Amino acid sequence: MSKLKIFGYRRMDGTLGIRNYIAIMPSVDCANEVAKRIADQVENTVTLPHTGGCGTYGDDIEKTFQTLVGLGANPNVAGVLIVGLGCESIDVDRLISEIQKRSSDKMIEKIIIQEGQGTTNAIKKGVMFASKMARKASMLEKSEGDIKDITFATECGGSDPTSGLAANPALGYVTEKIIANGGSAILCETRELIGAEHILAANAVNEKVAKDLLSIVHEVERKCKNWLMGTDQRLMSAGNIRSGLTTIEEKSLGCINKVGHARVAEVVRYAQKPSKKGLIVMDSTAHDIPSMTGMVAGGAQIIGFTTGKGSTVGYALAPVIKITGNAKTYRNLEENMDINASTIISGYETIEEVGERIFDEIIKVSCGKLTKSESFGFRDFAISTLAGAF
pLDDT per residue rounded down to tens, the chain (390 residues): 467 899 999 999 999 999 999 999 999 999 999 999 999 999 999 999 999 988 877 788 999 999 999 999 999 999 999 999 999 999 999 999 999 999 989 999 999 999 987 899 999 999 999 999 999 999 999 999 999 999 999 999 888 888 889 999 999 999 999 999 999 999 999 998 998 899 999 999 999 999 999 999 999 888 877 765 455 544 556 666 666 666 667 667 778 899 999 999 999 999 999 999 999 999 999 899 999 999 999 999 999 999 999 999 999 999 999 999 999 999 999 999 999 999 999 999 999 999 999 999 999 999 999 999 999 999 999 998 765 555
266 and 379 in a single domain? The answer is yes
Q: Please state, in angstroms and rounded to a whole number, the distance separating the CA atoms of residues 7 and 17.
A: 9
**Domain edge (last residue) among 73, 106, 139:** 139
Q: Please state, in angstroms and rounded to a whole number, the distance separating the CA atoms of residues 280 and 328.
A: 33
pLDDT of residue 237: 63
163 and 72 in a single domain? The answer is no
200 and 344 in a single domain? The answer is yes
Q: For the domain that residue 67 is a member of, what is the CATH number?
A: 3.40.50
The range of the structural domain enclosing residue 289 comes to 147-388
**Domain edge (last residue) among 122, 139, 156:** 139
Within 10 angstroms of residue 209's Cβ, the number of other Cβ atoms is 21
Considering the domain boundaries, does residue 13 fall inside one?
A: no
Q: Please state, in angstroms and rounded to a whole number, the distance separating the CA atoms of residues 75 and 13.
A: 9
Considering the domain boundaries, does residue 203 fall inside one?
A: yes
Within 10 angstroms of residue 59's Cβ, the number of other Cβ atoms is 11
Q: Please state, in angstroms and rounded to a whole number, the distance separating the CA atoms of residues 41 and 217.
A: 44
259 and 380 in a single domain? The answer is yes
244 and 348 in a single domain? The answer is yes
**Domain edge (last residue) among 106, 139, 172:** 139
pLDDT of residue 233: 47
324 and 194 in a single domain? The answer is yes
Considering the domain boundaries, does residue 166 fall inside one?
A: yes
Considering the domain boundaries, does residue 5 fall inside one?
A: no
Q: Mutual orientation of helices 92-102 and 59-73 as an angle, nearest 10°? A: 50
161 and 77 in a single domain? The answer is no
The domain total for the chain is 2
182 and 306 in a single domain? The answer is yes
Q: Please state, in angstroms and rounded to a whole number, the distance separating the CA atoms of residues 244 and 251.
A: 10
Considering the domain boundaries, does residue 9 fall inside one?
A: no
* Residue 95 and residue 48 in contact, taking contact as beta carbons nearer than 8 Å: no
251 and 331 in a single domain? The answer is yes
Calculate ∠ Cα 203-207-211, nearest 5°: 90
Residue 301: alpha-carbon gap to chain centroid:
8
42 and 166 in a single domain? The answer is no
258 and 297 in a single domain? The answer is yes
Within 10 angstroms of residue 44's Cβ, the number of other Cβ atoms is 18
95 and 216 in a single domain? The answer is no
Please list, in sequence order, all residues whose beta carbon lies within 8 angstroms of the beta carbon of residue 329, skipping any fewer than 6 positions away: 307, 308, 309, 310, 337, 342
Query: Could you tell me the pTM of the whole model?
Result: 0.94
Considering the domain boundaries, does residue 14 fall inside one?
A: no
